[in-house]
Structure 1
Amino acid sequence: MQRLFAPWRYAYVSGASAVPGCVLCRAAEGGPDTLTLCRTGRAVALLNRFPYTSGHAMVAPIQHCADFALVDSETMAEMMAVTQRVVRALEAVYQPHGFNLGVNLGEAAGAGITDHLHVHVVPRWRGDTNFMTVAGEVRVLPEDLDRTWARLREALGEAHG
């Protein structure tokens, strides 16, 4: 039997990746360690540190809020505008065949971050659900997060000069 090692996943699987505070609030503050892609007055986009596919991003309100019903309509509209920007950047950089866009409200719905609302933007390609994902519960990503971050920041016009 062959083995595929992904040591960067150990921190997530073991729970050692847990950092005090809200990861999405930290992302709103920016910096490469947060994998922040872009920020507006009301919304922030960042890469998911434990992606389903290369380019898996999240868009969240700057305001810390878990309740979908409590987010004001201006913030929701800005989140969707940022989501559109991220989709366009992903299309330009990766040429995916489609996207999954989704919001998981609560742990029972699959939310890994339950206390801060966010939209997942997951680029998809025909055949990206293969035996590794289905049988082995493993995801094979062709690119590391630092490279993904740099490429998408450039596509979003957010590269540091």
Structure 2
Amino acid sequence: MYRLWTPWRLSYVTTAGAPRPACVFCDALARGDEPLVAWVAARAFIILNKFPYNNGHVMIVPKRHVARLADLDADELLEIMALGQAAEQALGAVYAPHGFNLGMNLGRSAGAGIAEHLHMHVVPRWDGDTSFMTVFGETRVLPEELPVTAARIREALAAILTPGA
């Protein structure tokens, strides 16, 4: 059996049962002096992940407390993506990673640790690193054939992006 030592996650494990604020993101922003907040913009902010997958792991968080991407307005969406772009550039300059993971987990069943407040992860990656993506291995369980999935998604997108057509 292989062991991977992750001492930075010890505080997460030892405080798992402790009372938590109503929302860690709203609380961090409200404090104003939160050391993990890297940047605050008009509609969103960048905060370091307290329990990172890799050095430089940040999250882009809308100021408004919403759980779903569909709940954001166009200005919030634009700013979140602009901050994601800025985070990629900054992390590239600081850490020189070989790549990045950018993503959101919407809902607990999708893997969201903080499902009640939408956030986008920006994780720098290096060739040969061992991180969260490695747990997926070489096997995926797909209950629906890809052509069926594609057709269903196309139909939903057409309804959203071309209403009344």
Class of the TM-score when normalised by the shorter of the 2 chains: 0.7 to 0.9
What RMSD, in angstroms, separates the aligned Cα atoms of the two structures? 2.2
Q: Please report how far the alpha carbon of residue 2 of structure 1 lies from its aligned counterpart in structure 2 after TM superposition.
A: 8.5
Contact 1:97 1:125 in 2 (8 A): yes
CA distance in 1, matches of 2:61, 2:55: 19
**Pair 2,101 (structure 1): closer, same or farther in 2 beyond 3 Å:** closer
Conserved? CA contact 1:47–1:55, under 8 Å: yes
Aligned equivalent of 1:22: 23
Aligned positions of 1:56-95 closer than 5 A: 56-95=57-96
Q: Report matched runs for 1:53-132 at 5 Å.
A: 53-129=54-130
Other-structure match for 1:43: 44
SS at match of 2:102: strand
Structure 2: state its 5+ residue gaps: 136-165
* Per-residue deviation, residues 6-40 of structure 1 (Å, max 9, x unmatched): 2x42331240465222111123233244x000010
What is the aligned length? 130
Which letter maps to 1:47? L
Q: Distance in 2 between matches of 1:104 and 1:43?
A: 17
Q: Which amino acid aligns with 1:9?
A: R
Aligned-pair identity (%)? 49
Q: Structure 2: how far apart are the matches of 1:43 and 1:67?
A: 15
Separation in structure 1 between the aligned mates of residue 46 and residue 125 of structure 2, nearest angstrom: 18
Q: Which amino acid aligns with 1:81?
A: A
Query: SS state of the match for residue 114, structure 1?
Result: coil
